[in-house]
Amino acid sequence: MTAKQTFIEHLAELRKRLIISLIAVGIGFGICYYFSQNIFDFLMIPLYKVLPAGATMIFTTPAEAFFTYMKVGLLAGVFVASPIVLYQIWLFVAPALYRREKRYAIPFIGSATLLFIGGAAFGYFIAVPTIFKFFMGFATDFIVPAPKLKETLSFSCMLLLTFGLSFELPLFLFFLTRLGVVSAATLARNRGYVIVGIFIVAAVLTPPDVASQFMMAAPLVVLYEASIWVARIFVRRTKTSAKGRRRK
């Protein structure tokens, strides 16, 4: 894609990138569907560990298990193909960016990916087991849990996605400061309001127990504080670079 391309040529370039991305997702889906049962078992480990003795997972419609494994294969396939998809997006957008903007693109994609994986990992290994344990705590000798495949997978994926996206907070705040929308001083001055907001959001997104809410809110508070320090360091370096250019 170049600046002299016509609108039709832009559409053709976009079509090419979409086709390559869809092929990558299709290949990823095919591979991951073959291992979908293993992937599903891995995702359900936090639940298996807290299920009462004798409790099992169930499906209540003939096709539920099949479509659940299809969904597992598709989600895992998208995740596996995401580097190729992101690269295709980069190839489409990069020619329209200035050299300075291109310099930030790769660190942005890399940071966003690492933060998302870190958030999902935190959810999987720490938060989700606690949340499942809370829900399984309602089981009695008379009330025996029998989680459905479809609903349990959707619930687990929703939690992992929520934690993954919430860990993008530092990157989001960094670019707000980079664009001049907010400053490190503003972030620090409104710290109290933000922390209250974080706990409110955590209360909405997690089960109604203090442990689950704290597990989501505490990392976000830490990440918010880290964002303030990153913004301060960036501003300091920017000022230093500007002074250096003026001296030259």
The ranges assigned to domains in the chain are: 1-147, 168-248
* CA distance linking residue 99 with residue 179, whole number of Å: 17
From the CA atom positions of the chain, what is the Rg in Å?
23
Interatomic CA distance for residues 60 and 78, integer angstroms: 27
Cα distance between the two ends of the chain: 36
**The two three-digit tokens of residue 22, written as one number:** 């869809």
Supply the pLDDT for residue 156.
Answer: 93
CA distance 227 to 171: 8
> What pLDDT is stored for residue 240 in this prediction?
57
Would you state the pLDDT for residue 239?
A: 56
How much is the pLDDT for 61?
92
* pLDDT in 10s for each residue of the chain, 248 residues: 444 567 788 889 999 999 999 999 999 999 999 999 999 999 999 999 999 888 889 999 999 999 999 999 999 999 999 989 988 988 888 777 777 767 777 787 888 888 999 999 999 999 899 889 888 888 888 888 999 999 999 999 988 998 898 888 888 888 788 777 888 888 889 889 999 999 998 888 777 777 778 888 899 899 899 888 887 877 666 555 555 555 55
pLDDT attached to residue 66: 96
Whole-number pLDDT of residue 98:
75
Phi then psi for residue 58, to 5 deg, are: -135, 165
b/e 180-201 (16+ beta carbons within 10 angstroms → b) = eeeebeebeeeeeebeeebbeb
Closest CA to 47 of 115, 139, 116, 114: 139
Q: CA separation (Å) from 9 to 84, 86, 88, 89, 97?
A: 22, 21, 16, 16, 18
Please tell me whether the overall predicted TM-score, pTM, comes out greater than 0.85 for this model: no
pLDDT at 25: 96
Helix or strand (DSSP H, E) at 165: helix 149-166
Predicted confidence at residue 1, as pLDDT, reads 45
Burial of 223 (0-12, 13-18, 19+ CB in 10 A): buried
pLDDT at 45: 96
